[in-house]
Amino acid sequence: MTQAISRPTLTMAEKIDSIDALCARARIMPVITIAREEDILPMADALDAGGLQVLEITLRSPHGLTAIRRLREERPHLCVGAGTVLDRHMLDAVEEAGAQFIVSPGSTDDLLRAALESPVPMLPGVASASEIMVGYALGYRRFKLFPAEVCGGTAALKALGGPFGDIRFCPTGGVGPANLQRYMALPNVMCVGGSWMLDSSNGWDAVRQASADALALLD
């Protein structure tokens, strides 16, 4: 079994800086659910070839932790994070697997406080101003807006920019090529997350091309 990587605990300011850096590198963060273990490396390689090197591996399948471990060991140049982290136990598991960042679909007080003690930066999920304020009181300043389009999309982000001027978001859920540029044009959006580029039914080169096409929209 892969041993947990020993890392010093970071301050919240350092964690915010780390999130900012990985989002700047990502611009588009693929949200990946691994259906088969044999897909782990081909999927990552196709995304990498298309220019996407910051990967969120969700725990929506039983292969999530395995994928994080293998990618950290076999593709060390990629930045590999864990998504769909729902509680303290999942947080401990992904930290042990070597996740470099953590993403949750929503926020609970227990998860937010557990992540404060973790050496790995977390991007907590929020869907309302009230949820932002709960995280804000604990020091969080970077959030995942989910599900972004259902929550009001770019109009909601513009509105939230008023009372929360120092908050930045990674909107996920309903983001795709048709609205990608509108999201990324907002000053409080760091990067976006999505899965539209992950369809491998036409082969791994289609994933590579979809990734490259998405990034080209931002150039």
**Burial class of residue 142, CB neighbours in 10 A (0-12, 13-18, 19+):** buried
CA distance 54 to 219: 18
CA distance 186 to 154: 8
Q: Which structure tokens are listed for 2?
A: 């892969």
Q: Which residues on neighbouring strands pair with residue 57, listed in sequence order?
A: 32, 82
Is 15 noted as a catalytic residue in this protein?
no
Q: Give the side-chain half-sphere CA count within 13 A for 146.
A: 20
- Residue pair 29/184 in contact (Cβ under 8 Å)? The answer is no
Peptide bond into 62 cis (omega under 30): no
Continuous segment of H or E residues that includes residue 79: strand 79-83
Is 37 noted as a catalytic residue in this protein?
no
Which one of the listed residues 15, 56, 95, 149 is annotated catalytic?
56
CA distance 183 to 173: 12
Which one of the listed residues 15, 95, 144, 149 is annotated catalytic?
144
What residues are annotated to the active site?
56, 144
